[in-house]
Amino acid sequence: MLILLPPSETKRPGGRRRPLDAASLALPSLTPQRDAVVDALVALSADEAEAARVLRLGETQLREIAVNAALREAPTMPAIDRYTGVLFDALDAASLPTVSRRWIGAHVRVHSAPFGPVGALDAIPAYRLGASASLPGLPSLKRLWADAVTAALAGEQPRFVLDLRSEAYVALGPVPEGVASVYVRVVSEGEGGAVRALNHFNKHAKGALVRRLAVERPRVSSRAGFLRWADAAGLRVRDGAAAGEIELFA
């Protein structure tokens, strides 16, 4: 099973003094795209006003420009530790035993805007870039990433993909056709059985789900296998309204 996670806008600072090595990240075929985006971000950072406009930064966020300017030499840390926020706080990877972190390293990819999908234990620097940004001198991130990411994922030959990304990041690299996958929507049930999608609890439920998987480390290689595991784990899931989707009740 391969699990795809979205990134978070918020990141933990610092890390080891080991600079980014784009070629050492998971899916090395994406190195040209990674280098292009990092170069564009560093170049953009030379013009504070333009960087603030492109990245949609407010007055209190201007320090993020210096973060991008230092991408090539900044400290790095495992992606699963770099990101903070609701999903990653619920996952709380730092508190997991070593065997669970190794499982996450083998099974989880975090889909970032500047680096594409990276291994959960891949070392990355802090950065500021969202999926909808348009960088000067580059095509849209969707045009830059989508086909390349899909091809790279196909090259991994996963038997089954559990897609927990937001739709914005799905657009930057759809799961290859022919690969068994499910897209997870987190929902709640209200009065009269009405089902509605969640936002904050969507992220928390996804983080808690990945933590549960990392602790139990089930052998899941199909949609049916995931549904059987979820049922045995006491999770409430069902087929979604659209083909290829499942609903996870929070």
Q: Which long-range contacts (CB under 8 A, 24 or more apart) does 132-140 make?
A: 132/168, 133/54, 133/55, 133/56, 134/54, 135/37, 135/40, 135/41, 135/44, 135/54, 136/40, 136/43, 136/44, 136/50, 136/54, 137/40, 137/43, 138/36, 138/37, 138/40
Q: Is the pLDDT of residue 194 over 60?
A: no
- The mean pLDDT of 241-248, rounded to a whole number, is 89
- Beta carbons of 69 and 46 less than 8 angstroms apart: yes
- How confident is the model at residue 190, as a pLDDT? 63
- How confident is the model at residue 196, as a pLDDT? 65
Which residue would you say has higher pLDDT here, 197 or 148? 148
Q: How confident is the model at residue 241 (pLDDT cuts 50, 70, 90)?
A: confident
pLDDT tens sequence across 117-172:
999 999 999 999 999 999 999 999 999 999 999 999 999 999 999 999 999 999 99
Q: What is the chain's mean pLDDT, rounded?
A: 94
Q: How many CB atoms lie within 10 A of CB 131?
A: 20
User: Percent of the chain beyond pLDDT 90?
Assistant: 91
- The mean pLDDT of 79-89, rounded to a whole number, is 97
- The mean pLDDT of 30-36, rounded to a whole number, is 98
User: Percent of the chain beyond pLDDT 70?
Assistant: 96
Q: Is the pLDDT of residue 191 over 90?
A: no
- How confident is the model at residue 109, as a pLDDT? 98
Which residue would you say has higher pLDDT here, 229 or 199? 229
Count of residues making up the chain: 250
- The mean pLDDT of 52-56, rounded to a whole number, is 96
